[in-house]
């Protein structure tokens, strides 16, 4: 265009565009920041950037995602963090390893989770290159430096302190460590009733470090019914009953986790920093009352092969159910999007049986009045 094309009309349009851009600029930062740590239940694509076998980057993963493409989420569609982000009125936080994790996207938060990890450093060694929890915490520290460079140190500190944090760990310490093989190293070292307090004490150190790094609202999920997932039914069940060893492990772990969180809240001087989310209770309801939730089955995975579709990986060669909404499990270990929505609804609105000391909607309302 020639220089004289800058007519008054164009200048007015330009001014309007600037006003609109100015008005829309804070949208990414309007919602509180959201940070996610943990394993495959909450990983939204970090493992796509790693040389590892623990990945969900091929169809039919993502079949019901808005793009209908695999994203690295171990789901047919959205996972638990995505649905929490909807309640926060925000876009999902990007995987920390994403090349787009910069600029305005930093304000949304970050997902540091990595499929295969556990509380212990030796959990998931068979997956080779995964982001263990100590490294996830280091990445959180590095993220904060990047955020401070973008918005200043005081604003970055405030953004983190007002954020919501979700952490999901523990299941792999049983499934992919203690019970992975008969006579595993950890099962030789510990009886199960000693192993659980050991991993709880290690988990406490992780959560203390999160607090040191500025987290002040942390939803900590217990393990679901790990003995009842399709993979364990396929390995251990002739009649559809849950694997007793893993069920006992979850029954030991979850109450001890809740007690540790109460203790930790006492130590930091606030009874609502660490929030205990009882995913075991929700998955128990699915397992034994599937029809009440509109599920045809809570035992057979939608995608897989073998008994209960619980053997091996979900791949393009697998059986895939036509209607994912009537299955509680998408693959051998992970819930469907619809099951994830029910889990998050219980976090949001459930009683103290589901989440304590208060549910997420109460927390969000309380924090809104404070800010």
Q: Which residues are catalytic?
A: 40, 331, 334
| Count of alpha carbons within 13 angstroms of residue 139, beta-carbon side | 22
Give the number of other CB atoms < 10 A from CB of residue 202. 16
Give the number of other CB atoms < 10 A from CB of residue 365. 11
Decide: 273 and 216 in contact? Cβ < 8 Å: yes
Decide: 347 and 360 in contact? Cβ < 8 Å: yes
Query: Of the candidates 30, 34, 28, which has an alpha carbon nearest to the alpha carbon of residue 360?
Result: 34
Q: Is 146 exposed, middle or buried (0-12, 13-18, 19+ CB in 10 A)?
A: middle
Decide: 116 and 168 in contact? Cβ < 8 Å: no
- What gap in Å lies between CA 131 and CA 172, rounded to an integer? 14
Residue spans of alpha helices (H) in the chain: 8-24, 27-30, 80-88, 133-151, 153-161, 171-173, 185-189, 192-212, 230-236, 244-268, 279-288, 337-349, 360-370
- What gap in Å lies between CA 231 and CA 274, rounded to an integer? 31
- What gap in Å lies between CA 79 and CA 343, rounded to an integer? 10
- What gap in Å lies between CA 127 and CA 232, rounded to an integer? 19
């Amino acid at each position: 265009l020639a220089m004289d094309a800058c007519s008054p009309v164009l200048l007015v349009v330009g001014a309007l565009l600037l006003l609109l851009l100015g008005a829309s600029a804070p949208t990414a930062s309007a919602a509180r920041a959201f940070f996610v740590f943990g394993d495959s239940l909450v990983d939204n694509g970090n493992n796509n950037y790693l040389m590892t076998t623990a990945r969900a980057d091929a169809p039919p993963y993502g079949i019901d995602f808005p793009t209908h493409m695999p994203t690295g989420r171990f789901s047919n569609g959205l996972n638990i963090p995505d649905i929490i982000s909807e309640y926060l009125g925000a876009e999902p936080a990007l995987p920390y390893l994403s090349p787009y994790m910069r600029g305005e996207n930093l304000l949304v938060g970050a997902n540091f989770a990595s499929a295969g990890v556990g509380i212990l450093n030796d959990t998931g060694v068979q997956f080779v290159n995964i982001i263990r929890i100590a490294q996830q915490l280091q990445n959180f520290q590095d993220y904060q430096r990047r955020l401070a460079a973008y918005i200043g140190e005081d604003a970055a500190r405030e953004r983190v302190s007002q954020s919501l944090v979700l952490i999901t760990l523990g299941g792999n310490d049983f499934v992919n460590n203690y019970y992975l093989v008969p006579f595993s190293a950890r099962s030789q070292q510990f009886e199960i009733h000693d192993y659980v307090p050991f991993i709880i004490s290690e988990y406490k150190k992780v959560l203390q470090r999160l607090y040191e790094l500025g987290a002040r609202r942390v939803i900590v999920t217990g393990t679901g019914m790990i003995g009842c997932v399709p993979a364990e039914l396929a390995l251990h069940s002739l009649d559809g009953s849950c694997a007793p060893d893993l069920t006992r492990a979850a029954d030991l772990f979850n109450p001890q986790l809740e007690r540790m969180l109460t203790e930790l809240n006492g130590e930091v001087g606030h009874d609502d920093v660490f929030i205990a989310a009882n995913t075991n209770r929700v998955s128990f309801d699915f397992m034994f009352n599937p029809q009440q939730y509109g599920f045809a089955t809570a035992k057979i995975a939608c995608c897989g092969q073998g008994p209960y579709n619980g053997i091996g990986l979900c791949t393009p060669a697998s059986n895939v159910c036509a209607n994912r909404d009537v299955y509680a499990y998408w693959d051998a270990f992970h819930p469907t999007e619809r099951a994830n929505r029910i889990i998050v609804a219980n976090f949001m609105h459930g009683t103290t049986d589901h989440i304590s000391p208060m549910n997420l909607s109460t927390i969000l309302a309380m924090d809104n009045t404070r800010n």
